[in-house]
A and B are shown apart, each in its own frame.
Chain A
Amino acid sequence: MESREEPEPSRIGTSGTADSSSAIAISDASIEFTVAGKRIFKAVEKADLTVEAGEFVAIVGPTGCGKSTLLNAAAGLVRPARGTVHIFGKPLSGLNMQSGYLFQQDALMPWKTALENVAIGLEIAGTPRSAARDEARGWLARVGLAAFGERYPHMLSGGQRKRVALAQVLIRDPSIILMDEPFGPLDAQTRQIMGDLLLKLWSQNRKAVLFVTHDLEEAISLSDRVVIMSAGPAARIIGNFPIPLMRPRDIGEIKLEADFQRIHRDIWHMLKSEVMKAYSDMPAGETA
């Protein structure tokens, strides 16, 4: 990261050129949904987004904008009506198998124990069961749940389930980690602890991360770059801010630093006016 200059909304809507080294390169993507079989609802319009290998990028936007949809396009769960998605230079077809996805809702298989849930990603890929379980035990220990392997998801707290889900994703060693407001349902303290855990695990083995959140503070404290989306429908990317804060970071401490507060203020200033502009640009009746 270069010097701590004022974060500029550099070339709104883009973030560097999409070359083959980029982990994710979404260009000019519009994503539409058919509602009730006919009406076309445009969730995302003309979005350009690049995530480099090893880069931690957060997408921030008002709740209900197309940020999760954009994430799902990177995962291959939805297909853009126009535009392209490239993963490490190759056009994405089908699901993005180089990525791991951390969902906002509970996504663990309730009929498997924590250990089985973590090990399953390796088992289905052909790792012998005992080796997969051993590896899973290591990952449960890394997320602080060594003693909880035999518990079923309903016997764990929300934060513990999230830890299991994180281990379930990371055990596969994906080159890209996609996260859809993963800590959204958790309380403030648990979010902070999970943020620290995430940064700790990520710093040991830096992957490309695309992290969706509606919480600007969370986005700044975690990421290398914050991308701002306008309110939907037809959400657009309206801002792109590098976060030149030092790593390693402590999520609790960093919020008190002057640099953090300055960046937060600047982005919020931009975000507010851009969101207002996005609202006023929309035809009447479409403002949610």
Chain B
Amino acid sequence: MNRALLIAIQCSVAVIIILVWHVVSTTHVLGDPSTISFFFSTPAAVGSQIWDWVSGGTIWYHLWITLWESALAFVIGALGGILIGFWFALRPRLALVFDPYIKGANALPRVVLAPIFTLWFGLGIWSKVALGFTLVFFIVFFNVYQGVREVDRTVLSNARMLGMNDRQLLRHVYLPSALSWVFSSLHTSIGFAVVGAVVGEYLGSAAGLGYLIQQAEGMFDVAGVFAGMFVLAAFVILIDWGVTLVERRLLVWRPPSPGERQ
């Protein structure tokens, strides 16, 4: 399938969904349109709400806050995951001792931590960053841990025979191997950074996309909720696209997996 055709089909999917939504919420095909539009709003109302946000400029501030929180959560979480992941992978005894605690902490639903973070870090951005951190950290941690432990034995022996000392092995073998695992989980971990930020905002804040959605919900403004969701979806798609570009740049050395080939 060529690219133009693919994009055309992708766009027509959106057109059809919006068309069906429009017909159902404004005509009598499936019942009283005023009831349906109360629950599902209408494309026109959602569109005009998004337009208001964009033209009035309010949305940029909220987007900026969410982006900033996600970025901080990702960077701090990834750094923490890489450091601790390396430390544990190179100290198997330490990993053994902390194994149940790591697993337990990772199994905890993060939403229950939100009130505690709000208590600790206040209603500003840091409680959201903390929530995102708890999600990103574990993904990166497990990937680094695995990446270090599953370094190719032959590559490692070869590097040793070439005369590398422990520090050089870390720099030329363990780190690239671990980072390749981190990069391959980049989509997941950045997605979770956004989830952490938005959920945190939703549960208590004064700015951000989660706050917008929560405010609209509080006033039974269904159009506002849908508008917030659409903006959020577009935001995530844009970030994901950016990640793909970064990934292509950083992982040039990796053979394309069969699924990735066009």
Residue positions of A touching B, CB distance < 8 A: 75, 77, 95, 97, 99-101, 103, 105-113, 120-121, 124-125, 152-154, 165, 168, 172
Contacts and interface: CB of A to CB of B under 8 A. Distances in A.
A240 B172 CA distance: 41
A124 B168 contact: yes
B65 interface: no
Contacts of A103: 154, 157-158
9 contacts: A75-B161, A97-B163, A103-B158, A107-B158, A110-B254, A111-B177, A113-B253, A125-B163, A153-B253
Given A152-B252, A154-B255, A109 B164 contact: no
Q: Is the interface of B mostly helix, strand, loop or mixed?
A: helix
Contacts of A97: 163
Given A152-B252, A152-B253, A154-B254, A109 B154 contact: no
Contact of B180 (A101, A111, A124, A125): A111
Given A105-B154, A124-B172, A154 B253 contact: yes
Nearest to A106: B154
A124 B167 CA distance: 10
Interface of B: 154-155, 157-165, 168, 172-173, 176-177, 180, 252-255
Contact of A108 (B155, B157, B176): B155
A9 to B, nearest CB: 32
Contacts of A109: 155, 159, 172-173, 176
A110 B157 contact: no
B176 A111 contact: yes
Q: Which of A100, A107, A108, A112 has the most CB of B within 10 A?
A: A107
Given A120-B172, A152-B252, A152-B253, A77 B157 contact: yes
Contacts of A110: 155, 253-254
B162 A172 contact: yes
B178 to A, nearest CB: 11
